[in-house]
Amino acid sequence: MRIVKLLSENVLRLNAVEITPNGNLIVIGGENEQGKTSVLDSIVLALGGREAKHTMPLKKGAKKGRTVVDLKDEIKNLGLKVTRTFTETGGGTLKVESNDGAVYPSPQAMLDKMKGQLTFDPLAWAKMDGKKQLEVLKVMVGLDFSTLDEQRKTLYATRTSVNQEIKRLKGAVDSAQHHPDAPEKEISVVELMMELSERQKVNQANQKVREALGGFNTRISEINSNISIYKTTILDLEDKLRTAKENLDIAERAIEMVTGNRAEHQAKIDQLQDVNEQEIKDLIANAESINSKLRANTSRSEKEAELKDAEERSENLTEKIEFIDKGKETALSETKFPVEGLSFDESGVTYKGIPFDQGSSAEKLRVSVAMGIAMNPKLKVLLIRDGSLLDEKNLKTVAQMADESGHQIWLERVGKGKECSIIIEDGSVEAREQAE
């Protein structure tokens, strides 16, 4: 549907304006405060419903006014006439009838079905903030990643926390001492003291046996001395020979017995083996140092286990984030956007891989007009209020896009240049020849 005729009487700054548009780009020209904007506003007042509410739609001093918009679909040969009236009390009516005279019972509901998501102004989307642009684009293409984005945000925050923990654990592991020579079990000083005591008892008993051998040796020396004395006494004292012989006999038997006992005792001594006391003493002296190494190794092993667990959790979270990102990439790649190269990511809308707000003014213009065209497939009427901001090149771009899509673009522009289709002066249409 396109506008084939516009009639506005006593609306805003307009007196009585009748326009039969020609072509796809209708440029409304004129100086400031002459009624150019009122032409576009009258179209919105007629078709826009709640979005078109105006504080004072009726021209000041008038009793009543009206805007009549004739719409037609050339391909289907269908036509509609939309008539909205205004009164000085703020009331008014809306009537929509078909080209065969049928009147629609719910006129605004019927008009709302024809309007696109961006309603009339194709540059409105470019004027939105990045967040709003993204919301509109998501609704338009039927993609809502809010749940996935929230899941990804939670996973990302969790992974960040885990990675911080990994960094801390790596630092702890790297700074922790490791002693390859440390035992697997801590040394008990109490047990070592008990073992040392037992070994000392053994060695003390062995010493007593050794000391007993010295006694035997002393005794043998003493007896040998007596033998010498006794032999001398026999030679010197014949009268004492008998007694000396008896004593000799006793001494010889005694020496034989003691010598036998000594041999037995020597055999026992030869079998004795002293235990190493110094080994236990060294362990006792170094127990705390050795145990400290063991505790350091144990602490390092625990930190290494924590680090491994944290790294596994981080990898798992990364896989989940990559799965979400892959799903979003797939959905985006399979989605048909209204403009080739248009897409979005977590930060906002993108065009050709860069943020939309970083694009050139020409790119923003083409994308915005293309969005308006794509989002108004039924009512192919677009309004551009900031037409004075468009240079000749951009104006040609808009005209070309309108021709290619079959949309009708009404554009307001300050001035009376040759590009203007209609000149508005003092609320009325000025004759083209007069304007020139």
| Cβ atoms 39, 46 nearer than 8 A | no
Average pLDDT, rounded, for the chain: 85
Based on the fold, state whether residues 56 and 113 are members of the same structural domain: yes
Q: Which residues pair with 343 in a beta bridge?
A: 350
Q: How far apart are CA 296 and CA 275, in angstroms?
A: 32
Boundary residue ending a domain (286, 320, 346): 286
Q: Give 53: exposed, middle or buried? Use CB within 10 Å, 0-12, 13-18, 19+.
A: exposed
Would you place residue 251 in the very low, low, confident or very high pLDDT band (cuts 50, 70, 90)? confident
Based on the fold, state whether residues 17 and 89 are members of the same structural domain: yes
Based on the fold, state whether residues 13 and 99 are members of the same structural domain: yes
pLDDT, average across residues 143-148? 78
Q: Look up residue 181 and give its amino acid.
A: D
Q: Rounded to 5 degrees, what are φ and ψ at 35?
A: 120, 5
Q: Rounded to 5 degrees, what are φ and ψ at 403?
A: -65, -45
Instruction: Supply 115's token pair.
Output: 């309007």
What's the total number of domains in the chain? 3
pTM for this model (two decimals): 0.58
Q: Rounded to 5 degrees, what are φ and ψ at 172?
A: -65, -40
Please give the pLDDT value at position 160: 92
Give tens-digit pLDDT for 30-63.
999 899 999 999 998 888 765 566 678 899 889 9
Dihedral of the alpha carbons of 283, 286, 287, 292, in degrees to the nearest 10: -150
Q: How far apart are CA 413 and CA 387, in angstroms?
A: 5
Tokens 């008993």 locate to 205
Please give the pLDDT value at position 51: 59
Please give the pLDDT value at position 235: 74
Give tens-digit pLDDT for 210-241.
888 888 888 888 888 888 888 887 777 777 67
Q: Is 4 helix (H, G, I), strand (E, B) or coil?
A: strand
CATH code at position 427: 3.40.50.300
Residues contacting residue 65 through CB under 8 Å, at least 6 positions apart: 8, 9, 10, 11, 57, 58, 59, 85, 86
Q: Is 67 helix (H, G, I), strand (E, B) or coil?
A: strand
Based on the fold, state whether residues 170 and 299 are members of the same structural domain: yes
Q: Which residues pair with 96 in a beta bridge?
A: 82
Tokens 């307001």 locate to 412
Give tens-digit pLDDT for 160-182.
999 999 999 898 888 888 888 88
Please give the pLDDT value at position 243: 77
Residues contacting residue 69 through CB under 8 Å, at least 6 positions apart: 3, 5, 6, 7, 43, 46, 47, 81, 82
Would you place residue 325 in the very low, low, confident or very high pLDDT band (cuts 50, 70, 90)? confident
Based on the fold, state whether residues 71 and 218 are members of the same structural domain: no
Instruction: Supply 258's token pair.
Output: 């003691």
Q: Look up residue 223 and give its amino acid.
A: I
Based on the fold, state whether residues 321 and 271 are members of the same structural domain: no
Residue 39 belongs to domain spanning? 2-120+376-435
Based on the fold, state whether residues 301 and 398 are members of the same structural domain: no
Residue 29 lies in a domain: yes
pLDDT, average across residues 347-358? 86
Residue 195 lies in a domain: yes
| Cβ atoms 199, 275 nearer than 8 A | yes
Residue 269 lies in a domain: yes
Q: Does residue 301 surpass a pLDDT of 80? A: yes
Based on the fold, state whether residues 197 and 58 are members of the same structural domain: no
Q: How far apart are CA 124 and CA 385, in angstroms?
A: 10
Would you place residue 436 in the very low, low, confident or very high pLDDT band (cuts 50, 70, 90)? very low
| Cβ atoms 387, 413 nearer than 8 A | yes
Give tens-digit pLDDT for 282-294.
888 888 888 898 8
